[in-house]
Each structure stands twice: as structure tokens, then as C-alpha cells.
Amino acid sequence: MIGGGKSYVSAPPAFSTDAKRLLVCTGTVVSIFSTSTGLQIASLEAHNALVTSVIVVPGNKALSFCWTASLDGTLRYWDFAVAELMKTIDIKMPIFSMVIPSFLGQPEKGMQESALPVHVFAYLSVENTQVQANAPKALRGQIRKCDLTESRLGGGVFAETREPEVITVSPSGKFFGIRNKRKIHIWRVPAIDSKLLVSKKITLHHTRNLTVLAFHPTKTIVAAGDVSGRILTWRGFGNRTFSDGGKLENGTSKNNEEERPGVRGDDDADSCTTWHWHPAGINVLSFSSDGAYLYSGGVEGVLVVWQLDTGKKKFLPRIGSPLLYLTDSSDPSLSSISCADNQIHILKMPLMEIVKSISGIKLPYSVPEIYEGICNRFAFDHTAGLVALRTENYRIQFYSLFDDREVSEVQVWERNHQPGDEIRVIVTLVCLSGDGSMMSTVEVKLPEEGLGGLVCLKFWASGSQNKNFTMSTIVYEPHRDAGISSLAFHPTRRMVVSSSYGGDFKIWVCSDEIQQKREALQHSGWMCHAVGSYKKKPMTAAAFSADGSVLAVAAETVITLWDPDNNALVAVIGEAQMPIVTLSFAGKSEYLVSVSQGSKPQLSVWSMSKLSEFWSYKLHIEDLTCAPDSSSFAVLALLPKSSAGMGSNEPSLVGKDGVILLFNATDPVPLTMWSVRKAKGGGLAFLNGNQHSFQYNILDGKPPQTLLVYMNGDHEYVIFDPYGNETNELSLTKRESHVALDETGQFGYASIYGELPRFDLKRDQAFLAPSAPSQRPWETLFSGSSHNLPPLTKLCSEFMESLLEKRTATVE
């Protein structure tokens, strides 16, 4: 089983102490990427739920320790160079955010830690699970203190909020704060040996909901962004309240009430200024390490640098997606910004230049209501194991399911995407040919009060393996102004059928094929070969049979069968209750599967030999996929709300809202079923199991012929063998059941040296059949970038071992 497609931007990432690695929270694991190559090099796996914070212990560049916090209620301490878990603290409350102020400001602390046990405290934002969520005015969020050295939770609760909030700590390590609706609460971090349970707190007020706050590295300045795009900067906060605490650099406290411009009411600050450039809410706010600049960014995808004294601006425009987090590293020239499109850009800082991008699978994006029905979700390249996803900026992303990384992107509509604008242009359909060499896309532009709407059908061809698609033909308004409901490629020939709600379907052929006979091959292009319609009914779905001799087109509730070459109607089959939305032939068998949705959802199997319905279920089907050669097919069914609520009594069904059912077309009893989470908006596909990259990872047994991939509503996916024995008890949502055959095995060092990382990852395990992929591994064993290499002690044993193996081989 292979999993992947995690979000890289669910939580802020963290740089390692030498700034050569980036620790990214990806679902339940922490993935470690190299900042120089942008590739994944390791992962930390132990948490059971979403990891929400990762904090690297600062200090010497050789140190590689980090703390992570997760929604499963644990804090874990890792040595991430070797991916080893060193310590676990169970808080028993979901942790949403964690800061450790003592790591900041006093870098020598980390060194002392080993010498004498100084208590390290963390401040956690946790969710109080005892309070019912639906109770009025429930205060579920709590800020708590935790002694990491003694692994116990401090008694007191600093603050209670409606929802768990993100804690922000000042770079000097003296303050931390949260935003709470229109207020900011700031605490001063108590001294280590202080016996005070609750430290002093100040509150700053604003008239709009605040979104983010940031502390100045040296001065007592705090900046906050609000939902309207304003940036507020309070200077000299807490001079009165915290003045007993000692010498602040800005400590000339003027208590003159009149000379506090912009400060609201009784707030404890000297002045408050406002900057307004951002048109919408601010997500990113951060001071530069020398405190001269303030970085801000938001929904519109522009990183703005403010000169703090003068308010002058500089911009990094066209990042292309809403910004979420800005993370600094110990290296002042490197920072990273996380974008909402699941990309992390590594910035070279004074220049603000993107040097590297780490891109994950594109996340689903909200689509206007009217489009929802006509968008297909994914297109799968069955042979290469790729998925094609439509992205918000009019592109198609090709994502390798086996390698869990992006392969390429194709710009479908050449238009400047403005994140945060209303979505009015959208790529609705994408369809790949059986061999993956051709693609067809449909995009729709919404009319403005009936003006200027456009439907556009495009055909693409790729020359080589790397999916560099180039456009071959563009058809404006292929079915006049009617929308296209589905696209399907002929299994063997260059033929595409497009069905429209306007009541007709068109068969398109590539002119290469026509002109082969006349041997006058001038330029390739697609043209309309035939038009068909049935009683002027909207055509809602289309599919070719496995040999391409029959074309099935659903005309709302009936299925019409056509001869695609002669464009002749062959037969019309029966009547479904609701319009059919998906049609598919079950492999090479004589059965046709149809899915209709709406108030009376239905899954039906039609027999082609009898031209009648064979069997059907009343199920709400989200997606349907048919195995290419056998007669089995799999559906992703949504559980009805009532049964989902009922299922909550059973522990195994908590939070699961869908099931995958594997059928044989001849038998209405499903072969297998798996229950899954987040099935709404999910997808299913059979993949060809004879994958080079996949076989590589399977160490025992022969690879399965076909694999099933399930992609959930958040674009996380798992690939598994639907006919395997062990899958019956596999829970698809339990990610810790991953074995070493997931993505760590395939990047950088690992891709060259096979199971060596496995040997490093789990030292206690007996290593399995060490076979050196290259004949003379010692030659290349020590080459490669040094931060990718395991420690010398480990390499040495591998080196010796490879020598030994060589010798036995020669003896035999």
C-alpha cells in the first residue's frame, strides 16, 4: 500500500539548524526536504493524527533535534538526522499549536541542557475535549504550559478561547501572544525559576477581527493583520504592565495619556500606526531578523516588504496563490513561504527571489455551484501511474502517484490568474487517452449578464515521456453555447467523443488518421467527424467499449448505443429514474455500468447481450472505475447521513462517510468493501500494476496485476492491491501502517541505493536481503551531497558489506 498526496501547508514548516533541510508537516508524518534540491530525503512517522507544529531545537549546526505536536495529543522529540523518536509526552488533549520560548533568544541554552537539567517549558494551545462543541459559548481553546523536561503539564490555564488559537512567540523569547477575535493577548514569558503559575497579560484592542500577529525581534513592537487587509503596529506595548520585569530596550516609558496616538482606550502601548495596502485578509506577518523590515502577505498572493521606519513598500508579485506562512531560517538569506496551492517556495531573501519550489499535489478548490455538476475530478494515466488534476490557475497538474511528486504542469488557458478573485474561468473537464499521449480539456468562461460566455474544447498531444503537452487544436464553442458533459477517448484510435447538454454529441478525429490513407500528411489537427443526437435530449455521459466498436451515450435517462464509425444508432436501452451521469463498460465483458445521481441515486449494470438491466442498487455513487481487462469494477459510494450517524456507535466507523465496493459485473454481491473517510469529492481508478517504480519497492512476492487507487476529497490517496489478502483488514485511513515502501524509498540517495535508508530508518530491524543495485556500489557510495549521506559509521558497515558480497560472488 502506498499513500501520498498530503498537504504540505497544513502547518508552518521549520528549517533545520543548518538551513539545509526543511521539516514540513504532511498529515501524520513530518517530511524532511532538502532546500537545495527540493526533494524529500526522510520522514518522521509516529503520530496518529495531523501534526500541527514542528520546532527545531536551535543551537549548533550539527544538532538535529526537534519537537513535534499533533492532534493526537502527544508531543514527540526526534533526532531527525536519523529519523529516530527519542521521547514522547502524552498530553491527552489535541494540540493545535506549540511554542517553546526558551529556545529563542538564548541560543546557549541548548548547549547547557545536557550538562545540567534546566527545565524547558512549552506553551501549548490545546482543545478541551471535555467541553461539548455545541454548547453555547463553550470555551474549547486553552493555552497551557508544559514542562518538557519532566514531561508533565503545568496546572494552570493561561486563557480560554472559543476555538484553539495559534500561539505566536516573539523572536527574543520574552513574549508570546494569541489573537482572539478583535483582541490580542500578550503574556510575558516568566523566568525559568519563577514559581508564578500565571504570568502577567496585556490586551490590545482593534475594531475588526484580527488574523495574525508578529513580534519585533528586539523592540517591544507587535504587528497584527486584520481581515480587511490593514496592518496595525503597536510600539512600546506593555511598558507599564511589564516594567517591573527589567530593562527593555525601548524602556523609556511615557505614561502621558495624551501622547499615545492611535492606541485604543486603556491599552498598554505607546502608539499604534496602521498601514493598508492589502485588499483582503492578511495571512502572513513577520519581521525580518534585524527588525528593519516587516513582511506581509495575504490572499492576493503578493509578498510585501515594508520598511518599518518609513513605511516604504517593495513587492514580490505573482506568486500565484494565497500565502499562508513565512518561515525564517538561521541562514539569513533563506526563507520559505507556504502557499495555499500546496507549494512551498524557498526564497533567497534580500533579493526576494524564488530559488526552489516544493510542490505537492494540488488541493481541491471551491468551484461555483453551477459548475459542480459538470466538472470531472481526476483523470488517471493508467500505464504511467499519473493523475491529472485541474488547478485553480487554469492548469493541469500531472502528479505521479507512485513517486508522490509532481511531474509537470500544463497551462491550459493562458490567462493571468488572480488568487482571491471570484472564479469565473474554470477548466471543467480533463480526459487522457489510454496510452497517456493525448489529452483533451474543456474550459468554461462564465458569461456576465448573458454576455461573452465561452466553452472551449482543446486537444493536446505530448511528444515524450515527461508529459510536456502541446496544444494541437482548439475548438471554440464546440456545441454552440451548451456545456460539455463528458469526454471520452477511443481506446485504440485517435477519436474523442464529447457529449453536451445541448442535445448532441460529436465525434472528433485527429486528421492524421484521415490522411494516412492519402499519404498527404500536412499538419495534424482534430476535426469533427460526426454529430449525433437522440430526441433532442441532453447527452449526459459517453463511453467507448473496450474494443472501441460501440459507443454508449446517455441521453438523460436512456442509454443509446452507436456505431462510432458510421454514426449509426444501434440500440437504445431502458430507462433509469434519474439522469445518468457516468457510463462505463466493465472491462472487456458485455456489461455496461451506469450511475445516476440526484434524489433517486442508482447504480445499474446493463447486459449488452440482452439489452436490458441486469442488476442495480440504490446507492449514491461518487465515482466509478472499471478494471481494464477483467469484468470487475469498483465504485465509491457515499454513506447516507443516517447510517453515518448510526455508524458512530461502532468505533471502526467513526468519521467514515464512504465505502469502496468492488464488484464483479456478473454478480450483485460485492467481492470486497473498504470504508473510507472524506469520500465526498473523492475518486477511484485502477492502475496498471506492472510499474517499474512500483516493482522496485516490492521486496517479496510478485507485484499485483492491477492496483486500485483511492483519492479522497482532500486529494490524499492510497494505492493498494484490491485482490490481495491483507487489504481486507487494512484501514485506509490509518497511515501508520505504512511500511518502508512508501515515498522515502524513492528520492535522492534512496533511489540510488535501494534499501539503505530502510536500514537507517529502523536500525533494530533485521535488514532484508541486501542486494546492491549497482555492481560496484563502493565507487559511488560516498559521492553525493554530504547532508544526504548517513553518518560515516553507518556507511562504513554498508561499504564493508558490499565488499564482502562482491567477494562471495566471485568465489561462486
Partner 1 sequence: MAEPQISKTYPVKPKHKPKPRTPKQTTESKYWSSFKTKQIPDLISSITSLTFSPTTPHSFAAAHSASLTLYNPQNKFSPTATISSFRDVVSSASFRCDGLLIAASDLSGLVQVFDVKTRTPLRKLRSHTRPARFVKYPVADKLHLVSGGDDAIVKYWDVSGETPICDLLGHKDYVRCGDCSPVSADMFITGSYDHTVKLWDVRVKDSGSVMEVNHGKPVEDVIFLPSGGLVATAGGNSVKIWDLMGGGKMVYSMESHNKTVTSICVGKLGKDGGEEAQQYRILSVALDGYMKVFDYAKMKVTHSMRFPAPLMSVGFSPDCLTRVIGTSNGTIYAGRRKNKEDFEGGSDEELERPLSKYERRQKKLKALSSGDAGGLGPVEEPQVRVLKPTNFRYFHRGQGEKPSEGEYLVMRPRKLKLGEHDKLLKKFRHKEALVSVLGSKNPENAVAVMEELVARKKLLKCVSNLDTEELGLLLMFLQKHSTVPSYSGLLMGLTKKVLEMRAEDIRASDDLKGHIRNLKRSVEEEIRIQQSLQEIQGIISPLLRITGRR
- 375 binding partner 1? (CB under 8 A): no
Give the separation between CA 602 and CA 593, rounded to whole angstroms: 10
Q: Is 299 helix (H, G, I), strand (E, B) or coil?
A: coil
List beta partners, residue 461: 438, 470
Residues 728-767 touching partner 1, rule: CB under 8 A, are none
CA distances from 373 to 393, 633, 634, 706, 781 (A): 20, 23, 21, 30, 54
The DSSP secondary-structure symbol of 189 reads P
Residues 19-58 touching partner 1, rule: CB under 8 A, are 37-39
Interacting residue with partner 1 among 392, 406, 623, 760 (CB under 8 A): 406
Q: Measured from the CB of residue 782, what is the shortest distance to partner 1 in angstroms?
A: 25
- 604 binding partner 1? (CB under 8 A): no
Interacting residue with partner 1 among 183, 219, 445, 794 (CB under 8 A): 445
Give the separation between CA 335 and CA 351, rounded to whole angstroms: 11
Q: Which stretch binds partner 1 (CB under 8 A): 204-212, 226-234, 451-459, 621-629?
A: 451-459
- 359 binding partner 1? (CB under 8 A): yes
Residues 234-263 touching partner 1, rule: CB under 8 A, are none
Q: Measured from the CB of residue 445, what is the shortest distance to partner 1 in angstroms?
A: 6
Q: Which stretch binds partner 1 (CB under 8 A): 83-91, 149-157, 414-422, 608-616?
A: 414-422
Interacting residue with partner 1 among 49, 63, 139, 474 (CB under 8 A): 474
Site string for partner 1, 377-396 (x = CB under 8 A): ----------------x---
CB atoms closer than 10 angstroms to residue 42: 27
Q: Measured from the CB of residue 128, what is the shortest distance to partner 1 in angstroms?
A: 41
Site string for partner 1, 502-541 (x = CB under 8 A): --------------------x--x----------------
Q: Measured from the CB of residue 498, what is the shortest distance to partner 1 in angstroms?
A: 18
Site string for partner 1, 475-494 (x = CB under 8 A): -x------------------
The residue among 265 and 450 lying less far from partner 1, judged by its C-beta, is 450
Backbone angles phi, psi at 429, to 5 degrees: -130, 145
Interacting residue with partner 1 among 21, 206, 356, 494 (CB under 8 A): 356
Interacting residue with partner 1 among 369, 448, 519, 812 (CB under 8 A): 448
Give the separation between CA 717 and CA 683, rounded to whole angstroms: 9
Contacts of 712 (CB under 8 A, 6+ apart): 676, 677, 678, 679, 681, 682
- 329 binding partner 1? (CB under 8 A): no
- 414 binding partner 1? (CB under 8 A): yes
- 420 binding partner 1? (CB under 8 A): no
Q: Measured from the CB of residue 156, what is the shortest distance to partner 1 in angstroms?
A: 46
Reduced 3-state DSSP string for 518-573: HCCCCCCCEEEEEEECCCCCCEEEEEECCCCCCEEEEECCEEEEEECCCCEEEEEE
CA angle (448, 453, 459) in 5-degree steps: 150
Q: Measured from the CB of residue 477, what is the shortest distance to partner 1 in angstroms?
A: 8
- 468 binding partner 1? (CB under 8 A): no
Q: Which stretch binds partner 1 (CB under 8 A): 182-190, 348-356, 562-570, 708-716?
A: 348-356
CA distances from 104 to 174, 492, 543 (A): 8, 63, 61
Residue 707: all three cell numbers together: 492496483
- 355 binding partner 1? (CB under 8 A): yes
Place of cell 493555552: 143
- 357 binding partner 1? (CB under 8 A): yes
Site size toward partner 1, by CB under 8 A: 41
- 417 binding partner 1? (CB under 8 A): yes
Which strands make up the sheet holding 568-573, listed edge to edge? Answer: 539-544, 551-555, 558-563, 568-573
Contacts of 808 (CB under 8 A, 6+ apart): none
Q: Measured from the CB of residue 426, what is the shortest distance to partner 1 in angstroms?
A: 10
- 366 binding partner 1? (CB under 8 A): no
Q: Measured from the CB of residue 405, what is the shortest distance to partner 1 in angstroms?
A: 6
Interacting residue with partner 1 among 265, 450, 651, 701 (CB under 8 A): 450
Give the separation between CA 87 and CA 205, rounded to whole angstroms: 40
Reduced 3-state DSSP string for 328-353: ECCCCCEEEEEECCCEEEEEECCCCE
Give the separation between CA 584 and CA 594, rounded to whole angstroms: 6
Rg (CA), the chain: 30
Q: Which stretch binds partner 1 (CB under 8 A): 355-363, 690-698, 707-715, 793-801?
A: 355-363
Contacts of 643 (CB under 8 A, 6+ apart): none
Give the separation between CA 536 and CA 534, rounded to whole angstroms: 5
Contacts of 230 (CB under 8 A, 6+ apart): 208, 274, 275, 276, 278, 282
Q: Measured from the CB of residue 391, what is the shortest distance to partner 1 in angstroms?
A: 11
Q: Measured from the CB of residue 739, what is the shortest distance to partner 1 in angstroms?
A: 25
Which residues make up the interface to partner 1 (CB under 8 A)?
A: 37-39, 318-320, 345, 353-359, 393, 405-408, 414-417, 421-422, 424-425, 445-454, 474, 476, 522, 525
